[in-house]
Amino acid sequence: MQELSFKGAIAPITPHEFLAEYWEKKPLLVKRAAPGFYRDLLSVQAIDQVLAMPGLHRRDIRVARGTDPLAVEEYADKDGFINAASLSRLFTDGFTIILNTLNLKVRPLAEICRAFEQVLSIPCQTNIYYTPRLAQGFKPHYDSHDVFVFQVAGRKHWLVNDTPVELPLRGQGFEAGLYEPGDVTMEFDLEPGDLLYIPRGVMHGARTSDEVSLHITLGALTTSWAEVLLEAVAAAALTDVELRRNLPAGYALPGYDAQAARQTFASLLNRVAENIDVESILDVYRGALQARRRPYLENSVTRLDGLSQISAADSAEPVPNLLYSLTESEGRASLACFGRTITVPDFAAPALAHAVKGTRFRVGELPGLDEAGSVALVRRLVLEGAVRLV
């Protein structure tokens, strides 16, 4: 990938085209004939090194071969630590090794997740699937979240089927035996450098060829309007007594006036729609997405000493894919990001906004502040991980 960005990951499809034509609508297959496309994200060698680490724990790993994940006792000790020899044996026996949320440990994977979050405004994570030759990790199934598959090494033969559940909720997970694969709608080989997007609810399955396969699954953990509606009703009930009234006496008896119940229900829904502040509810989700992130503090010890060396002549820029919110109230301006809040006097609000909204800037040229004030603000922003020197 030329850049760890949403645009770079789905190229040559544009973000606008993807969101308009594919997102939550239909699968997307991008064939690239570019085996090294994902070399900056992950490699087989890097995964082999991770699997050899003695501190690998059961929470980091799943092992599967066509069905539900294997019992952890097959490859972990009583304290939950992974036995590398057992893991290797299972791999040679045809089991797929899944590394959970490796974006929490590998910087490039974290960066690509943040790039997708920046566009989609929902949490993202990566699971890694390492599958031996002529094997299948899971039988055909659907996921309750949208997935992007980056084929890093090897080749897999994929079948995509009709959708048994259109856009399932998080709690509507796949159940074997309840849902069967429908007609095949797509059949193809996913090769190194290729991309596959699968909306939640779409049945799919894949098998390796005579090569070991390594792919990244980036999961987009969707927040639905149904969740927002539930929050809206709960919030409205705190202030509207009509929503807190009991159901009418006798509603459980035969002959109850159902028409009256429908009218009451419709009236209550209208009250919620008229009185709820949707933006305040979206603010809660927005804040949760910002707070779940942690800043990258490279060279975290040595950089503290370097903070004192920042000068007005230095250049800085916002860190890539920064999610933040800016607010002003009672003579103060606040920047919220990474679960923390940075507050400055209102006269520094233009400088604060310029530092996080813009591109590269000269420290001493922030609007509304003298050089000393600009240096102090940039030092704080660098310390919090919102800005970096360039």
**Separation CA 108–CA 56 (nearest Å):** 20
Helices in the chain by DSSP H: which ranges?
Answer: 6-10, 15-21, 44-51, 84-92, 107-120, 225-237, 258-275, 278-291, 302-307, 349-357, 371-384
Instruction: Write down the CATH number for the domain with range 302-389.
Output: 3.90.930.40
Q: How many C-beta neighbours within 10 Å does residue 304 have?
A: 12
Tens digit of pLDDT per residue, the chain (390 long)? 656 899 999 999 999 999 999 999 999 999 999 999 999 999 999 999 999 888 899 999 999 997 778 999 999 999 999 999 999 999 999 999 999 999 999 999 999 999 999 999 999 999 999 999 988 878 899 999 999 999 999 999 999 998 889 999 998 999 887 888 889 999 999 999 999 999 999 999 999 999 999 999 999 999 999 999 999 999 999 999 999 999 999 999 998 999 999 999 999 999 999 988 999 999 999 999 999 998 887 666 666 667 888 999 999 999 999 999 999 999 999 999 999 999 999 999 999 999 999 789 999 999 999 999 999 999 999 999 999 998
Q: In the chain, which residues fall in CATH 2.60.120.650?
A: 6-220
Architecture of domain 6-220: Sandwich (2.60)
User: Taking the model in full, what pTM does it have?
Assistant: 0.91
Q: Are 159 and 205 in contact, with CB atoms under 8 Å apart? A: yes
In the 8-state DSSP scheme, what is residue 134?
T
Q: In the chain, which residues fall in CATH 3.90.930.40?
A: 302-389
